[in-house]
Amino acid sequence: MTVLTAPRRTIGYTSWILVGGSLLAAAAFAWPFFVGAVPADAQVAVPIVAFALIPALIVALALTLDREMYTAKTVALLGVLSAVGAAVRIAGAGVGGVEAVFVLLILAGRVYGARFGFLLGLLTIAVSSLLWGGFGPWTPFQMFACGWVGAGAGLLPHGHGTGAGRWRARGEIILLAAYGVLASYLFGLMMNLWFWPFAVGSGTGISYTAGADPGQNLASFGLYSLVTSTLTWDTVRAITTVVGIILVGPAVLAALRRARLGRRR
Amino acid sequence: MFRLRLAPLRAAVVLAVGFVLLRVVYRVVFGGASGAGTVLLDLPRVRLDGPFSHITLFGPITLVGLGNAALSAVPVAGVIVFFGLLNAVINVQSLFARGAGRGPVRAISRSLVIAWATFPALLESVRRVRVARALRGERSIASLLVPIFEQTIERALALAASMETRGFAATRVVTGLCEAPVVLTDAALNFGAVPDQTGWHLDDLNVTLLPGTLTVIVGATGSGKTSLLHSMSGLFQHFYDGTQHGRIDIAGADRASTPPRDTAGFVGLVAQNVRLGFAAETVHDEIGFALAVRGVAPSVVHVRVLEIAARLQIEHLISRPIEQLSAGEASLVAIAAALVNRPILMLVDEPLADLDTSARERVCTVLGQLAHEAGVCVVIAEHNTREFGPIADAWLHIRDHHLGAATFDVISSADPRTGLTGIDRTATGPTATGPTATVETVHPAPPQTQPLVRIRQLSVRHQADLAVNDVSFEVQTGELIALRGSNGAGKSSLLRAIALPSVADAVWVNGRDVRSLKRRSRRQAVALVPENFDDLLFSITVADECRRADRGLVGADTARTLARLLGFDEMTGAAHLLHRHPRDLSAGERLCLVMAIQLAPRPALLLLDEPTRGLDRVARTLVSAALLQAAGATSAVLFATHDDDFACGLATRTLRMQAGRLAASIEVRS
């Protein structure tokens, strides 16, 4: 019950593996910015390494987390919530960025912790891709990005304020909704980042230029991202997430917390 | 591993068609449906301003444009159908059941199994909750999503518990000693590690149970029958976060250190709601599940399944899909599944709750034979004690956090049904002040020229079967009618069809055809409290739930109604419940809450489906008093039940249903 009880004080070696793995993965996402740093001969290999690194990291982190998840209730909740998440994702698949699945990831990550949230993100994408047939080179990147959304929610501060129950509950919802907005835009940025050189091609004003100074590439990427998703899909996703968290957040949080406490006597 | 099942394929085709249609709509709205060929519809182009200026809405729609839109969706649709086909052919669950369980990613692969198994249940949940929401007259997103969410979580926990006790992913083989199935030495149970509002605990447990005996654990709801049972199955310690003190030995194994999966070879468990724990899709695979997860050869599993089925006389069910079982059959299948490992100890949690009289007798006989002929140690947690009178060897009574031996005479004097007949219409105790006034208004039931409710030739068809066959009857103002009949007689279908009629001219209330009424006026004519009444609840406090029910209704005060149903004169009596989570209330209190919600629009006819299902004596008393209260608040009440004594104690008239038809009505009261 490591994950489902109070957060642990000590930081075990698995935490270091998780943090290290996440940093490596972040580097792989940001591969366009590292191309200039390697020798010219090796530059062709950079995207290939990035594409291989992400799935390998997923396997490594899954192996690390698996042992900690090995209790019947954690496994059952992980399974059922990823099914719900996948269903929500498939139901919303026809409408682009309206991925209400963030609502579930954030709420579950908040209640069950960063590790659970991370795995839930991975599994939700895995299950929905398996069912819906959306498997492709982008799937591992999506899995990681969604994993981070869930994990981030688990790392948010738990207020030990003195306010009354009702205000405290509202504060939590506001916190989660604000995080939802942030996560929606960051998710869009991350997903744009690794795909950007492929999406625009070369020769336009916002193209990725190998060897140019990072500042210029960053500006190009910023403009590309703004036009591609930040103003449209990411905004829609942010609004969906906020509305979802406000509408069903309190009830879903209560349901998740009750499941943790055990409802039988 | 392989089998053919058309349902997933059908679902996938529906999904694929839906996807293509959605894509076409999407293209039309976002201006992508133009192209060569004839213009079908020339919508004006709407260019968005500001940051969205690269988006143009609408535009001319051509046949080629629509075709292209549909074609562009075909690859994805094809993939959907392909995966539906894979689903139809490959039994992923059994694949995982064979392959997973060990190895470095067993937790994640098991989660995938559960995710997979949850999908059909999700669809079923959506269907159920949509009915519940129509009954409550709700349209909000929360009223749909929250009950579905609660249900899937509940199912996940039940499924995980059932897989655990049947040895899924067991790591070591523990051998059981037949001589001492259960030995509790100075044991105590509580939920100390987890903050628990109720502060439940059970102390000084010293119990030794021998092979070939049948023991019944009795006690009120919430006294801890199930927890005591699961302290023997190991779920209490290893699944429900309970804390055990002292020593509990199950067939020689130390329960505190041995998880349920390692004792699956000699401990069988039949859980409370057997359907939630079914992990396979056919009766055959369900019975053989515990062997299959141990890697036993399929031919051996088959022989063993046939042997067990023959012993319980359920050979005819072997090839049946699991969802087509009646309640009684499902119980027998769950017993068979628990017996497949030839257990030394058999634990059974409330086996009779959902069953009608004949199914109850059957289950009792089977459990009795198990103990006295096969020499198994059988332990049953149950509040329907009467049926076990002839076969029980010992009774354990939980009272005031302690366990005591009792005799059947002592138990039966506290039996719910013997107690209940004394309560009936001149109720005493918590209802003494309430119903007396009501009785006066209900009792006379003067004959009227215009009946309050008229049901005319109502039929309900479930696929090929006629669940309700040409039923006609009338209800007068002031009546309190019991609808009786065995499981599957069509009672639930009839009530549902009265509350939400699908044909015109079948249900008339106060001279109005219910079918033609709008949402709100329909609820003023007839309201139903369904069997799965939890599906109507979706707020996080009882007070919110009441406020929600009052919305838009002049003069409605659901909180007050709830207090009255619970037997309090003043609002303050129920005040302690208002801030609690609705699902934390006891079953009886929850039922009263749903009754109060359904009474908010002041329906002329209140319907209740099996209101006493799974309730103990105290809760039944509460519900019967609440029913009388409700009868005072509306014009007539009709409740379905298979509980004979409950019906006799309350009803002014009894309707009997058999195979979808209404038998001649019987007057029970002068």
Which of A1, A68, A71, A75 best probes binding to B when mutated, by most B CB atoms within 10 angstroms? A75
Select from B571, B574, B630, B627 the least CA-distant residue to B599: B630
Mean pLDDT of B218-244: 83
**For chain A, what percent of residues have pLDDT higher than 90?**
7
Average pLDDT over chain A, rounded to an integer: 75
Q: Do A74 and B107 touch (CB under 8 A)?
A: yes
For A262, which of B19, B111, B194 is closest by C-beta distance? B194
Q: Do A255 and B241 touch (CB under 8 A)?
A: no
Residues of chain B contacting A87 with CB distance shorter than 8 Å: 119, 122
Grade residue A85 by pLDDT with cuts at 50, 70 and 90. Answer: confident
Q: Which amino acid is at A231?
A: L
Highest mean predicted confidence (pLDDT) among A44-48, A162-166, B149-153, B446-450: B149-153
Smallest Cα distance from A118 to chain B, Å:
12
- Alpha-carbon distance of B559 to B578, in angstroms, equals 8
> Phi then psi for B9, rounded to 5 degrees?
-65, -45
Grade residue B269 by pLDDT with cuts at 50, 70 and 90. Answer: very high
Residue B27: predicted pLDDT: 67
CA atoms within 13 A on the CB side of B128: 21
Residue A161: predicted pLDDT: 54
Residue A179: predicted pLDDT: 93
B347 has a pLDDT exceeding 90: yes
Greater pLDDT, B610 or A66: B610
Residue B653: predicted pLDDT: 84
Q: Which residue in the block uniquely carries the two structure tokens 């079982």?
A: B325
Q: Which of residues 529-588 of B touch A (CB under 8 A)?
A: 538-540, 581, 583-584
Mean pLDDT of B227-232: 90
Burial B136-161 (b: 16+ CB within 10 A, else e): bbbeeebbbbbbbbbbbbbbbbbbbb
Residues of chain A contacting B69 with CB distance shorter than 8 Å: none
DSSP B344: S
Per residue in B603-627, pLDDT tens?
A: 888 888 888 776 777 777 778 888 8
**For chain B, what percent of residues have pLDDT higher than 90?**
4
**3-state SS, residue B58:** strand
Which residue of B lies nearest to A5 if distances are taken between CA atoms? B194
Grade residue A43 by pLDDT with cuts at 50, 70 and 90. Answer: low
Q: Do A79 and B22 touch (CB under 8 A)?
A: no
Any idea what the Cα angle at residue B182 is, between residues B179 and B184, rounded to 5°? 130
Cβ-contact B635, B478 below 8 angstroms: yes
Select from A102, A155, A159, A106 the least CA-distant residue to A125: A102
Residue B486: predicted pLDDT: 76
Residues of chain A contacting B24 with CB distance shorter than 8 Å: none
Residues of chain B contacting A82 with CB distance shorter than 8 Å: 111-112, 115
Residue B317: predicted pLDDT: 87
Q: Which of residues 141-200 of B touch A (CB under 8 A)?
A: 141-142, 145-146, 149-150, 152-157, 159-161, 163-164, 191, 193-196, 198, 200
Any idea what the Cα angle at residue B528 is, between residues B522 and B530, rounded to 5°? 145
DSSP string, A43-69: TTHHHHHHHHHHHHHHHHHHHHHHGGG
Average pLDDT over chain B, rounded to an integer: 78
Greater pLDDT, B278 or B420: B278
Residue A171: predicted pLDDT: 85
- Alpha-carbon distance of B589 to B6, in angstroms, equals 42
Smallest Cα distance from B13 to chain A, Å:
12
Residues of chain B contacting A65 with CB distance shorter than 8 Å: 108
Q: Do A79 and B161 touch (CB under 8 A)?
A: no
Residue B628: predicted pLDDT: 81
DSSP string, B133-178: HHHHT---HHHHHHHHHHHHHHHHHHHHHHHHHTTTT--S--PPPT
Burial B8-34 (b: 16+ CB within 10 A, else e): bbebbeebbeebbeebbebbbeebbbb
Residue B306: predicted pLDDT: 93
Residue B37: predicted pLDDT: 74
Residues of chain A contacting B70 with CB distance shorter than 8 Å: none
Q: Which residue in the block uniquely carries the two structure tokens 């009444």?
A: B533
Grade residue B572 by pLDDT with cuts at 50, 70 and 90. Answer: confident
Q: Do A250 and B540 touch (CB under 8 A)?
A: yes
Q: Which of residues 230-289 of B touch A (CB under 8 A)?
A: 230, 238-242
Residue A228: predicted pLDDT: 62
For A77, which of B104, B140, B156 is closest by C-beta distance? B156
Mean pLDDT of B208-233: 86
Report the DSSP beta bridge partners of residue B396: B217, B405
Which of A80, A122, A233 best probes binding to B when mutated, by most B CB atoms within 10 angstroms? A80
- Alpha-carbon distance of B346 to B233, in angstroms, equals 9
- Alpha-carbon distance of B590 to B315, in angstroms, equals 39
Cβ-contact B187, B205 below 8 angstroms: yes
- The two tokens of residue B58 are 């609408």
Residue B195: predicted pLDDT: 47
Which residue of B lies nearest to A230 if distances are taken between CA atoms? B51
Q: Which residues contact A56 (CB under 8 A, 6 or more apart)?
A: none
Grade residue B238 by pLDDT with cuts at 50, 70 and 90. Answer: confident
Q: Do B240 and A262 touch (CB under 8 A)?
A: yes
Residue B420: predicted pLDDT: 37
Which residue of B lies nearest to A77 if distances are taken between CA atoms? B156
Q: Which of residues 588-617 of B touch A (CB under 8 A)?
A: none
B73 has a pLDDT exceeding 80: no
Which of A74, A84, A127 best probes binding to B when mutated, by most B CB atoms within 10 angstroms? A84
Q: Do A84 and B122 touch (CB under 8 A)?
A: yes
Residue A98: predicted pLDDT: 53
Mean pLDDT of B505-520: 83
Per residue in B22-54, pLDDT tens?
A: 667 666 765 666 777 777 777 777 775 654 455
Q: Do B22 and A94 touch (CB under 8 A)?
A: yes
Q: Which of A132-136, A236-240, B322-326 shows the lowest per-residue confidence on average (mean pLDDT)?
A: A132-136
Burial of B316 (0-12, 13-18, 19+ CB in 10 A): exposed
Which of B57, B74, B111 best probes binding to A when mutated, by most A CB atoms within 10 angstroms? B111
Residue A87: predicted pLDDT: 82
> Phi then psi for A11, rounded to 5 degrees?
-105, 110
Q: Do A94 and B114 touch (CB under 8 A)?
A: no
Report the DSSP beta bridge partners of residue B404: B397
Report the DSSP beta bridge partners of residue B182: B209, B250
Residue A19: predicted pLDDT: 83
B65 has a pLDDT exceeding 60: yes
B491 has a pLDDT exceeding 90: no
- The alpha carbon of residue B215 and the mean position of all alpha carbons in its chain are separated, in whole angstroms, by 26
B273 has a pLDDT exceeding 60: yes
Q: Do A66 and B104 touch (CB under 8 A)?
A: yes
Highest mean predicted confidence (pLDDT) among A20-24, B99-103, B170-174: A20-24
Q: Which of A58-67, A194-203, B647-656 shows the lowest per-residue confidence on average (mean pLDDT)?
A: A194-203
Residue A254: predicted pLDDT: 86
A8 has a pLDDT exceeding 50: no
Mean pLDDT of B581-589: 81
Residues of chain A contacting B222 with CB distance shorter than 8 Å: 265
Per residue in B658-667, pLDDT tens?
A: 888 887 655 5
Q: Which of B108-117, B131-140, B378-387 shows the lowest per-residue confidence on average (mean pLDDT)?
A: B108-117
Q: Which CATH architecture has domain A13-263?
A: Orthogonal Bundle (1.10)
Q: Do A80 and B114 touch (CB under 8 A)?
A: yes
Per residue in B400-421, pLDDT tens?
A: 788 877 766 665 555 444 333 3
User: How many residues in chain A?
Assistant: 265
Report the DSSP beta bridge partners of residue B209: B182
Residue B380: predicted pLDDT: 92
Residues of chain A contacting B221 with CB distance shorter than 8 Å: none
- Alpha-carbon distance of B277 to B161, in angstroms, equals 7
> Phi then psi for B660, rounded to 5 degrees?
85, -5
B79 touches chain A (CB under 8 A): yes
- The alpha carbon of residue A106 and the mean position of all alpha carbons in its chain are separated, in whole angstroms, by 9
Select from A225, A213, A54, A70 the least CA-distant residue to A146: A54
Grade residue B442 by pLDDT with cuts at 50, 70 and 90. Answer: very low
**What are the boundaries of each domain within chain A?**
13-263
Residue A196: predicted pLDDT: 66
Residue B425: predicted pLDDT: 37
- Alpha-carbon distance of B545 to B540, in angstroms, equals 8
- CA-only gyration radius of chain A, Å: 19
Greater pLDDT, B51 or B645: B645
For A133, which of B76, B113, B160 is closest by C-beta distance? B76
Q: Which residue in the block uniquely carries the two structure tokens 């008093």?
A: B625
Helical (H) or strand (E) element with B316? none
Per residue in B116-148, pLDDT tens?
A: 767 777 887 888 888 888 888 888 878 888 888
Q: Do B153 and A66 touch (CB under 8 A)?
A: no
Residue B417: predicted pLDDT: 41
Greater pLDDT, B574 or A156: A156
Q: Do B149 and A255 touch (CB under 8 A)?
A: yes
Burial B577-594 (b: 16+ CB within 10 A, else e): bbeebbbbbbbbbbbbbb
Mean pLDDT of B83-110: 61
B426 has a pLDDT exceeding 50: no
Mean pLDDT of B207-228: 85
For A66, which of B106, B146, B540 is closest by C-beta distance? B106
Residue B304: predicted pLDDT: 92
For B153, which of A70, A72, A259 is closest by C-beta distance? A259
A/B interface, count of CB pairs below 8 Å: 167
- Alpha-carbon distance of B24 to B155, in angstroms, equals 37
B80 has a pLDDT exceeding 80: no
ipTM value, please give it. Answer: 0.78
Cβ-contact B161, B235 below 8 angstroms: yes
Q: Do A264 and B240 touch (CB under 8 A)?
A: yes
- The two tokens of residue A134 are 């959306």
Q: Which of A85-94, B283-292, B573-582 shows the lowest per-residue confidence on average (mean pLDDT)?
A: A85-94
- Alpha-carbon distance of A127 to A147, in angstroms, equals 13
Tell me the CA distances in angstroms from A1 to A6, A63, B124, B150, B199, one per residue in order. Answer: 9, 17, 30, 21, 21
Grade residue A107 by pLDDT with cuts at 50, 70 and 90. Answer: very high
For A258, which of B160, B227, B581 is closest by C-beta distance? B581
Mean pLDDT of B199-222: 84
Residues of chain B contacting A261 with CB distance shorter than 8 Å: 194-196, 241
In sign, the C-alpha dihedral spanning B576, B578, B581, B584 is: positive
Grade residue B348 by pLDDT with cuts at 50, 70 and 90. Answer: very high
